């Protein structure tokens, strides 16, 4: 899934820069699987269709729908899919703009609008009165969920619930057996309160890759070292340490206002037979691609230039949401 950037969002000044990133993502994904794209209105849909056609995107695998949105971060306003009784079930959690930092009224309604249009076929949708963003959780497919205290315990999300209550709900709704918490780790410029998908990711049930800062003068050094030590202390469901793969640290990137931007190589997207990897016109890009190949030896690693995305403080994984094939 992609929610396409538009002139009614904060992307307005940078549409010419950011739309090619979305075209590149759509092109790479459509070569291997179906793509659902949400347009703001009919004129926007026609514009997107023209862009995709010019780029040679396999339009037979693209499904275009209309639903107004505030922004593009479908990882956080999109549905989280679980399997129930052998069939997919879409879970529509509340999205409140990362703790009421931004207006997200339209984003919070988007999935229900698409579902009413038949965008997900006959797949049922359940709305849940609980704030949860897709970027705040990372699962291994085998019962373990990794997350951060800064985000899930944020008082601006579910203030009436403590850690134990949140864990109980994650077990119930997502079917996970274990919740692994990180107390450390952040990226400057990040608006999400340390989403896990910018920090550490499961590559397999026994392997975690993570951002590692090797510059002792960098503001992130102490926090990411502490996060690394937390990851080293974690044990898999089998009771053994995880295989930990550190990802390279890119040079500091800054926006026009001088604010540091959250460039992270951990914000990759796993698709059928491939991994789409963000690059940032940085000397560390090639090393990051090589490192990700060691994490996913059986998949093709495809570089997607994502420097324009971090202008709005997110990256490749943040603007995408995967669905199982049975949904369509």
Which of the pair, 119 or 325, is modelled with greater confidence? Answer: 119
Question: Is pLDDT of 98 > 90?
Answer: yes
Mean pLDDT in residue range 116-144? 96
Average pLDDT, the chain: 97
3-state secondary structure 103-120: CCHHHHHHHHHHHHCCCC
What DSSP assignment string belongs to 28-77? HHHTTS-EEEEESSHHHHHHHHHHHHHTT--GGGEEEEE---S-S-HHHH
pLDDT of 115: 98
Tell me if 104 is assigned to some domain.
Answer: yes
pTM score: 0.97
Tell me if 91 is assigned to some domain.
Answer: yes
Tell me if 79 is assigned to some domain.
Answer: yes
318 is catalytic: yes
- Structural domain count of the chain: 1
The boundaries of the domain holding residue 187 are: 2-322
Banded model confidence at residue 328, pLDDT cuts 50, 70, 90: confident
Tell me if 327 is assigned to some domain.
Answer: no
237-286 pLDDT tens trace = 999 999 999 999 999 999 999 999 999 999 999 999 999 999 999 999 99
Look up tokens 């579910």; give the residue. Answer: 158
Give me the CATH number covering residue 160: 3.75.10.10
192-243 pLDDT tens trace = 999 999 999 999 999 999 999 999 999 999 999 999 999 999 999 999 999 9
pLDDT of 165: 97
Query: Strand, helix or coil at 208?
Result: strand
Tell me if 286 is assigned to some domain.
Answer: yes
What Å distances lie between residue 287 and 93, 121, 221, 279, CA to CA? 37, 41, 19, 10
Banded model confidence at residue 2, pLDDT cuts 50, 70, 90: very high
Mean pLDDT in residue range 76-95? 96
Tell me if 297 is assigned to some domain.
Answer: yes
pLDDT of 169: 97
Mean pLDDT in residue range 168-182? 97
Question: Is pLDDT of 326 > 90?
Answer: no
Tell me if 262 is assigned to some domain.
Answer: yes
Residue 246 contacts residue 209 (beta carbons within 8 Å): yes
pLDDT of 49: 98
DSSP state of 321: -
Percent of the chain predicted with pLDDT > 70:
100
pLDDT of 202: 97
36-78 pLDDT tens trace = 999 999 999 999 999 999 999 999 999 999 999 999 999 999 9
Distance CA(135)–CA(114), nearest Å, equals 20
E-strand ranges in the chain read 2-3, 35-39, 62-66, 80-84, 87-94, 125-131, 138-139, 144-148, 178-182, 200-204, 207-211, 243-247, 253-254, 260-261, 269-271, 274-279, 300-305
Phi and psi at 11, nearest 5°, equal -80, -10
* Residues belonging to the chain: 328
Tokens of 124: 């049922």
Tokens of 199: 């920090």
User: How many Cβ atoms from other residues are within 10 Å of residue 176's Cβ?
Assistant: 20
Tell me if 328 is assigned to some domain.
Answer: no
């Amino acid at each position: 899934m992609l929610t396409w950037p538009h002139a009614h969002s904060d992307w307005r000044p940078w549409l010419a820069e950011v739309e090619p990133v979305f075209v590149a993502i759509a092109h790479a994904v459509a070569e291997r699987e179906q793509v659902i794209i949400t347009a703001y209105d009919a004129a926007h849909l026609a514009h997107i269709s023209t862009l995709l056609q010019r780029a040679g995107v396999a339009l037979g695998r693209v499904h275009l729908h209309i639903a107004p949105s505030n922004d593009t971060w479908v990882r956080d306003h999109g549905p989280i899919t679980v399997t129930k009784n052998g069939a997919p079930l879409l879970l529509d959690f509340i999205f409140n703009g990362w703790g009421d930092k931004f207006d997200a009224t339209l984003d919070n309604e988007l999935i229900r609008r698409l579902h009413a249009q038949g965008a997900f076929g006959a797949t049922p949708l359940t709305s849940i009165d609980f704030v949860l963003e897709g970027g705040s959780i990372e699962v291994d497919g085998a019962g373990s969920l990794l997350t951060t205290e800064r985000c899930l315990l944020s008082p601006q999300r579910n203030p009436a619930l403590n850690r134990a209550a949140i864990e109980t709900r994650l077990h119930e709704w997502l079917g996970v057996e274990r919740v692994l918490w990180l107390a450390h780790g952040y990226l400057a410029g990040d608006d999400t309160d340390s989403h896990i998908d910018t920090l550490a990711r499961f590559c397999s049930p026994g392997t975690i890759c993570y951002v590692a800062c090797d510059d002792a003068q960098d503001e992130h050094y102490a926090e990411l070292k502490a996060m690394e030590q937390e990851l080293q202390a974690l044990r898999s469901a089998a009771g053994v340490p995880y295989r930990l793969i550190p990802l390279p640290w890119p040079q500091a990137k800054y926006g026009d206002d001088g604010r540091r931007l959250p460039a992270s190589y951990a914000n990759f997207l796993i698709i059928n037979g491939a991994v789409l990897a963000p690059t940032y016109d940085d000397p560390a890009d090639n090393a990051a691609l090589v490192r990700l190949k060691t994490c996913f030896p059986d998949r093709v690693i495809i570089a997607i230039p994502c420097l324009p995305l971090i202008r709005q403080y997110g990256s490749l994984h943040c603007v995408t949401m995967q669905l199982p094939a049975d949904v369509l």
